[in-house]
Amino acid sequence: MEAATGPEREELGIAGVIRTRFPVVRYNSSTLVEAHRAGWTSIYEQPIEHLYWIVTERGVRRRWGRHDHTIDRYAIVQGTVEIALVDGRADTPADPLVISLAGEEGEGLLIPPGVWHTFRSITPTAVLLNSKSPPYNPSDVDKELLPMPNDQFSFTWDD
């Protein structure tokens, strides 16, 4: 990893979806994960305009969501989550790509506009930090939701 470009990145099976591994430093029974630094371009080509975290418990069922313009950048802060992704830009959506990301490993994910996504915690509690571009605008909500399962893709989490 070079400080100028940021953490390592791995392109996954959906165009524009990128897994990242942020720098991790372990010391004194602690873990420090460096999630962002000015000048990193690996997943930060667009500026961070909205930052929030989600605390979720195992067993929570989320709907599918996608954006027309918004980029989501997840950094797992605590626990382990599974994320399911479907390319909504394709004529015929393929089966979901399911990946697991762990906070102690410094893992994160860039989700471009047009990609359906949902996640669940597979640990008792997980914390997910999302750094978005552009920010949420209540007068122009850039979010489409679908139930799970639905007629477009019938994926559901195995219990």
Tokens describing residue 87: 């390319």
pLDDT over 50 (residue 1) = no
pTM (2 d.p.): 0.88
Instruction: Parse the chain into domains and list their residue ranges.
Output: 8-146
What is the rounded CA–CA span in Å between residue 53 and residue 132?
A: 11
pLDDT 10s digits, 19-69: 988 888 888 888 888 888 887 777 777 888 889 999 999 988 889 999 999
Residue with tokens 């990609």: 115
Q: Which residue has the higher pLDDT, 3 or 68?
A: 68
Measuring CA to CA, how many Å separate 143 from each of 2, 20, 105, 137, 147? Answer: 34, 24, 29, 10, 13
At residue 156 the predicted structure's pLDDT band, cuts being 50, 70 and 90, is confident
Q: Determine how β-strand 80-87 pairs with β-strand 144-146.
A: unpaired
At residue 2 the predicted structure's pLDDT band, cuts being 50, 70 and 90, is very low
**Which range among 106-110, 115-119, 146-150 shows the weakest confidence by mean pLDDT?**
146-150
Percent of the residues in the chain that have a pLDDT greater than 90, as a whole number = 43
* Strand segments (E) across 69-111: 72-78, 80-87, 97-102, 107-111
Helix, strand, coil % in the chain, rounded to nearest 5: 0, 45, 50
CATH, domain range 8-146: 2.60.120.10
pLDDT over 50 (residue 129) = yes
Q: State how far Cα 39 lies from the chain centre.
A: 21
pLDDT over 50 (residue 93) = yes
End-to-end CA distance of the chain: 37
What is the rounded CA–CA span in Å between residue 108 and residue 68?
A: 21
